[in-house]
């Protein structure tokens, strides 16, 4: 489980760096500079729980889209809990307060499809040999 935690932490960092680099285009940042926070490593590492969940869901013959929705809900739960705790100590590296579909500034509901895809990416990585 430790190696899965590390793999998820690193993959999460990479996805976030790429995501933020492409978001820089909106602000005319053509250097594609991406960023993340050291705090995000253990948060992304928690995605390692997807492995046992995915095995159970696959055993129940759940299609990929349903598994992705389950992962998206789980990611939202982790994001809400960790974001709320970090926000109380003024250490939250993200703030969605100015976005239309936010909950407490720590979740963006419009990210649900993205989290669904990211969850399936984590599943594929965790279940590959």
Instruction: State pLDDT tens for residues 85-114.
Output: 999 999 999 999 999 999 999 999 999 999
| Average model confidence (pLDDT) across the chain | 93
Contact 41, 81 (CB under 8 A): no
pLDDT digits (tens, 9 = 90+) for 56-93: 999 999 999 999 999 999 999 999 999 999 999 999 99
What's the N-to-C CA distance of the chain in angstroms? 14
- Looking at residue 22, what is its pLDDT? 87
Which has more pLDDT, 37 or 29? 37
């Amino acid at each position: 489980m430790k190696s899965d935690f590390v793999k998820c932490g690193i993959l999460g960092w990479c996805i976030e760096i790429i995501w933020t680099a492409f978001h820089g285009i909106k602000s005319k940042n053509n250097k594609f500079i991406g960023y993340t926070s050291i705090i995000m490593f253990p948060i992304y590492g928690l995605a390692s729980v997807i492995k046992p969940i995915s095995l159970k869901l696959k055993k129940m013959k759940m299609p990929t889209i349903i598994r992705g929705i389950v992962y998206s809900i789980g990611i939202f739960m982790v994001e809400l809990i960790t974001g709320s705790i970090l926000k109380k100590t003024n250490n939250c590296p993200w703030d969605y307060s100015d976005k239309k579909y936010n909950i407490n500034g720590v979740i963006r509901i419009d990210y649900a499809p993205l989290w669904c895809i990211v969850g399936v990416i984590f599943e594929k990585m965790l279940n590959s040999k």
